[in-house]
Each structure stands twice: as structure tokens, then as C-alpha cells.
Chain A
Amino acid sequence: MYRIVNKAILNASVTLMDIEAPLVAKKAEAGQFVILRVDSEGERIPLTVAGFDREAGTVRIIFQVVGATTKKLNTKEVGDSLCDFVGPLGKKTETEGIKKVCIVGGGVGCAIALPVAQKFAALGADVTSIIGFRSRELLILEEDFAKASNKLSVMTDDGSYGRQGNVCLPLSEMLEAGERFDEVIAIGPLVMMKFVVEAVRPYGIPCTVSMNPIMIDGTGMCGGCRLTLNRDGKRVTEFACVSGPDFNGYEVDFDEAMLRSGAYRDFERHAYEDTCNLFSKEVK
């Protein structure tokens, strides 16, 4: 069992938890992920590592309550335990040789982008961060980003905080003004990452994206997380759990990934509603 030692509500739908998992904490690196099950009837869900404390033996996860499983996870409190917690899986984010980096985070993706920004900062790189949210109420981790970045832009879709617009706006402005990065790293919704790639493409700057497809085992066994990459004129299939989660953004077939991410949309909606009904019954 894996005990929850800390829980914090970051906004109405995003929660942070530190989980006791010494073996995972010992090895985890920014960019990797874990798979957890809340209880013995639960599904296995992948969550990218949002931080770790090797000495305390804890791993930080930050999740958005979007489905039945994250809803159930969110009901757990400090002292409760998760049934399963395995990792660290996938490859760490490559940092070698990068002196000047732009980190673009969208929504809850900022939770995963933060340890990447912190890692670059610790390595002495020049870090520019752009974080975007739908509105002020959904803003998370601003202070942490400010600490880890040489320059920070905060965007909201509705202009209720920071600048109005999406994350591509300041990115394009900087690139147009002649700013050059060794790499741009985008972590967030698929559609955001797709547009970041397009914004960067004309400048030929390497652009890495963090993919989070549907997974079961996370060790390369089920193939459910497969992505299609356009590489050297060929269509190549890779498993995100083993070869990723980071991929060369120029190669990823985002349209296909978006269709695949919706494979169980109906099922998920029903499960979410059922869970809500269940909770309201329990409350009564």
C-alpha cells in the first residue's frame, strides 16, 4: 500500500498529493510517469511525475478531476493509501546540451512542466516559461514557475489574469522578435501542443512534446498507448510508455492522437456520472 502523506487543493478541479513510494522516489526523474490504482476494483491510470523527494521517499502527483478514477482519487485524504503505485516509467526529459529553453505549459500540464523547468534551472540553463489557463480560477503553480524561470508569461483565455490569449501568442512574438531557444518543450492538451509545434516549426527549433495517451500496463505490453510518428517520410508506430512520454513534436500525428484519446469518451462520461451519483447517495 502507498500512503498519502500530503494533499493540497490547487484549484477547484486540480489536486496535489505526495505519495509514499520509496523505490519510485529513488529513481524518478522529470518527464517520467507512474501508474496507479486507487483500489482493487480500480483501473490503472498513468500520471506524469510532478515532483519527488528522494530522502522522504515520496512522489508528487498533480491531477485534474476529469473522470471516475480521478474523482475517486480525489476523495482520498492524508493517511489513506492507494492500492498500487508503480514506476518510474518511460524516459526522462532530455536536458543535455540545452542552455536556453522555453517551457510551455497548458492547464494541468503545468504540473508536469514545472519539474522540467526546475531541472533546467538547477542545471543553470536560461529558462523562459509560458503557462496558460482557461481563466484565473484555474491558475496553478505560478510562484513555483516564477522561481524556476528567468522569464515567465502567464496567459488566460478570457483575460481574467495575466495576458489574454493562448500560449502561442507570446511564444510567436518572442520568436518573431529574434529570440532563439535551443529547445521548446510543450506540455498540455493535445491541441495546444499541436499549435505550439506549428508556431515553432518555421524557426527550425527542436520542439519536444509530452504525450499522455490511454495506457494499461505502462511497460510495453498492451500497445494501447501507440502513436504514429512521421519520420523520414515513413509512418512509424511507437509505444508512448516505453519510447516516451516525450516525443519530437514535428513527428507526432496529433490528429490521430486526438481521435485515439476519445476512444472511451462515452464510457468515461457514464462512469463519471455514475460515480457522482454514487457519491451523492453516500452523502445522503
Chain B
Amino acid sequence: MANMSLKKNEMPTQEPLVRAHNFSEVALGYTEAMALEEAQRCLNCKNMPCVSACPVNIRIPKFIEKVKEGEFEEAYRIISETSTLPAVCGRVCPQERQCESKCVRGIKGEPVGIGRLERFVADWHNTYSSETPEVNVPNGHKIAIIGSGPAGLTCAGDLAKKGYSVSVFEALHEAGGVLVYGIPEFRLPKAIVKKEVDTLKAMGVDIQTNVVIGKTLTVDELFEMGYEAVFVASGAGLPSFMGIKGESLNGVYSANEFLTRSNLMKAYKDSSATPVMKGGRVAVVGGGNVAMDSARTALRLGADEVHIVYRRSMNEIPARAEEVEHAKEEGVIFDVLTNPVEILGYSNPEDKRDPKNGFVRGMTCVRMELGEPDERGRRSPVKIEGSEFLLEVDTVIMAIGTTPNPLIKMTTEGLEVNARGGIIVNENGETSRKGIFAGGDAVTGAATVISAMGAGKIAASAIDEYISDREKNPEKL
């Protein structure tokens, strides 16, 4: 008998005022009993709208059915047929805009907690299962993947399952891309990312860290080394700044730098040799998930006060609802309809050696109002004349987006990019160069983990087709 409760089973979380001071995971996950109860809310409907709303088409009702039966390992197997990173997606996917947005139960009441169930299943597997992943018979073809973020890892997983010998080249010293340098520990524990990466290694995927494609090796050299196809999943590295005065003062960070210092370089731990500005008053400029991650990280590093400064209103804020909610509960202050115009620094004309010289002392902001909707229907913010005010802060974090890293474009002849630097691809992830595929933020600019995974999947099947085609028609070589 289906559970007809209109509300999802709540997922336990750490108390807001406790978690605001530690880096342990915020959400604690369902217990077995909670998972069984939530699974009963799924009606197992025929047309499965949730599946088509999932970028990697996880067979959602099927895995939930197995949860109902208490067959958690079998549920995991169904998820991993299509998803390479179940424990990651269960945590960071915006389910409310994807699978759960199409759930029939959501028409009247709340949708099934698909994300929470996915997370439960993945965590159960990681805790209890000793099953090792299948290692497939090698098919003799070598594929190179550039970048070990969600797009690269997904593509690697899918190709390895098909028997390809896959090498993943990572520029940093650790695999995971944005999952390790960008998303904080309290939202996605690094041990989970490591586990997913280890699973891929166990499947035979070769991961080479400290190799910057475009510098250490070029894409063309990869072909010379015998790789038959290359998937570019190098992410959207380059941080954007606003172009206002004062952005080079000490204490102004890009979100990438701030989060990399804390996440990848572990600046939040005493044992880390990497410093980061801690304490004081912090302003984070932007309203996306990265802005929420930065604000909540600043809080945990010991900030006295953290402001989100966003130029539109709460209705337009692009971050996931859950992240905004968590940030508010933890005490982050939302200054919406507010835009920075200048960052102010200390400058002591009496004493050139004053240690505060060159550091942030505040930020001048203006109030905004929403004007007429533009052609896309989005109301653009307009400055209210004479509304300037000073926000006293010591640290400013710019979380206003990134653009694709130019290193590969600069060193790969014939690889076409659009005006924003994104690699141009067709619906199969094929670029303007034969044998080179691309996906994820390197193509789209900053987007979500799951859309990058979707692109990784598409590329994997396109690469498989490309290689099979070449094998059948060797004259095409």
C-alpha cells in the first residue's frame, strides 16, 4: 500500500547553529526506516516522467521499487547502470528542478524525495557492500579524457564499462575537479568523491594528476601517443570579476580562489600550510550555488558576519532552494536588490608601512529595483539613484561566474569556440575537430554537476560510435 502522505520524509540535518561552526556534513541522510517509508510514496507510475527529467535517465521507479523491497544493493546496481557518481548526485543535484519537478506526487503535495533515496542507496552501498566493480575485457582502444570533474569521470566510467582503456589527465594534484576544489566538505565530503574515483580506478581507469593539457602535453600529442579520441572536459576555470575599483585589494577573492584554498588546500584545517583570510565581516557577491558555498564556508572559517550581496530579488536567486534555506538558517544575511560599485581599501598616508595598507575596509553598494522584463522575460535590475551606502567588510568574495579555461583552445588548432570561449559542439558532443569531443562547463560555461555528467554520457556513447565506425570503415582513417 502506497504511503499517501503529502509531505516528504524530512532528512535529518545537523542543528544550524552547531553546523555553522564545523565542516562536517550538514545533511545526515535517511535511516533505513525513513528510506523504506519514503520509497512507499512512489506510485511506480507507467509513464515515469521523472526518468526523462533526469539528465542521465536513471531508472528511478525501478530503483525505488528495490528500496521498497529492502534490496538496497540491487537498487544501487540499477542506479549505477546509468550514473557513475550516485553518492555525489544524491547530494548536489538540483532535484527540485529535475526528476522531482516532474513527479506525479508533486501535483498535490510534495514529490517523492528521489534525491534523498538515491543518496541513501549510494551510502548504503559504500558502507556495506564489498562488491567490486566489473572489469571488462579490453577492446584495445585508447581514449584520453581531459579533466577529472563530473563530465570527465562520467565519460571515463561509461567508456571503461565498454572495454575502452581510458586515461584521465588532471591538472591539479587530486582527481575530482569541481567536486574537490569547489564544493565544500560540509555539502559533499571529499571521502565520498575519493570513493567514487577509487571505484573508477578499480574498473581500470588510469588517472594521471599534475598534467596540464595545453602545457605539459597538447591534444595533438595525445593523438600521437596513440589515443584514438579525446574528450575535453576541462571545466569553466577562469573566474570573472566585476571590473569595479578596488578588486585587487588584499581580501578580495574570486570564489574559485577562496573555495580552492579551503576545499582543495584544506585551509580550514590547522595542519594545512595554505592560508586563507578568516574572521571579520565578509561579503559574497552573487546569488548562485557557488555564492552560497562561499558564504557558508566563510561562516565556518569563523567570520563574525557574512552577507550575500545579490542584485536581483529573492525570487530570482539562482541557487538551489535548499542551499539558500540552509544558509539563512546558519545566519547568512541576504542583502538582495543590492549591487557593489566600489571596494574601498585602507591607505595610511602617514605610515607607508602600516600593515593594514592595501587591505579591504568596506564596499560601497547601491540599492536596485527590478525594471521591465527583457526579451527573455527576466526583469533586469536598475540602480536607484542616490541610494549609495557603505557596507563595512574585511573580505569580499566575487562569486559572479566563470568562463571556460583558454589553455586548450590556445594550443589546439582548428578547435572552434564561441564568443564566450566555450567549445562549440553538436548534439553528440563532437567538436569542429575530428576525434575531439567536449562537454561540461568547457562547453556551456558554469552549470551543474549533473548536466556535466549528462554531457559526459553523451560523449561516451558518441566516442563509442565513432570508434566502432572507424573499425568498420578503416578507409575513413
Contacts and interface: CB of A to CB of B under 8 A. Distances in A.
Interface of A: 23-24, 27, 37, 41-44, 68-69, 83-89, 216-217, 219-224, 226-228, 237, 239, 242, 256, 259-260, 262-268, 271
A226 B398 CA distance: 14
Contacts of A265: 355
A217 B172 contact: yes
Interface string B262-283: 0001100001111100000000
B248 A217 contact: no
B250 A221 contact: no
Interface string B178-192: 000100000000000
A79 B251 CA distance: 40
A268 B275 CA distance: 8
B260 interface: yes
Nearest to A271: B273
B239 interface: yes
B108 interface: no
Contacts of B173: 37, 44, 83-84, 86
A71 to B, nearest CB: 11
Interface in B202-247: 209-212, 215-217, 237-239, 241, 243, 247
Given A41-B271, A43-B273, A260-B358, A87 B212 contact: yes
Interface SS of chain A: mixed
Given A86-B212, A220-B237, 8 more contacts: A86-B173, A86-B216, A219-B171, A220-B238, A221-B238, A221-B239, A222-B256, A260-B248
Contacts of B250: 259-260, 262-263
Interface residues of B, number: 40
Contacts of B215: 27, 87-89, 219
Contact of B406 (A43, A242, A263, A264): A242
Nearest to A90: B215
A89 B257 CA distance: 18
A130 B283 CA distance: 47
B357 interface: yes
A69 B274 CA distance: 10
Nearest to B172: A217
Given A85-B210, A237-B241, A219 B407 contact: yes
B312 interface: no
Contacts of A37: 173
Contacts of B448: none
B358 A259 contact: yes
A198 B323 CA distance: 52
A63 B238 CA distance: 29
Contact of B216 (A24, A228, A263): A24
Contacts of A263: 250-251, 358
Interface of B: 171-173, 181, 209-212, 215-217, 237-239, 241, 243, 247-251, 253-254, 256-257, 260-261, 265-266, 271-275, 355, 357-358, 405-407
A264 B275 CA distance: 7
B273 to A, nearest CB: 4
Contacts of A266: 355
Contacts of A42: 273
A268 B273 CA distance: 9
Given A216-B265, A262-B250, A41 B257 contact: no
A222 B274 contact: no
A131 B357 CA distance: 31
A256 B248 contact: yes
8 contacts: A27-B216, A44-B265, A217-B181, A219-B405, A221-B181, A221-B237, A227-B248, A242-B406
Central interface residue in B210, B248, B406, by most chain A CB within 10 Å: B210
A267 to B, nearest CB: 4
7 nearest CB pairs, A to B = A259-B358, A222-B257, A221-B237, A223-B254, A267-B275, A86-B210, A263-B250
Contacts of B357: 259
B238 A84 contact: no
Given A41-B273, A43-B265, A85-B210, A223 B256 contact: yes
Nearest to A69: B273
Contacts of A23: 211, 216-217
Nearest to B218: A27
A23 B213 CA distance: 11
A223 B258 CA distance: 10
A89 B407 CA distance: 10
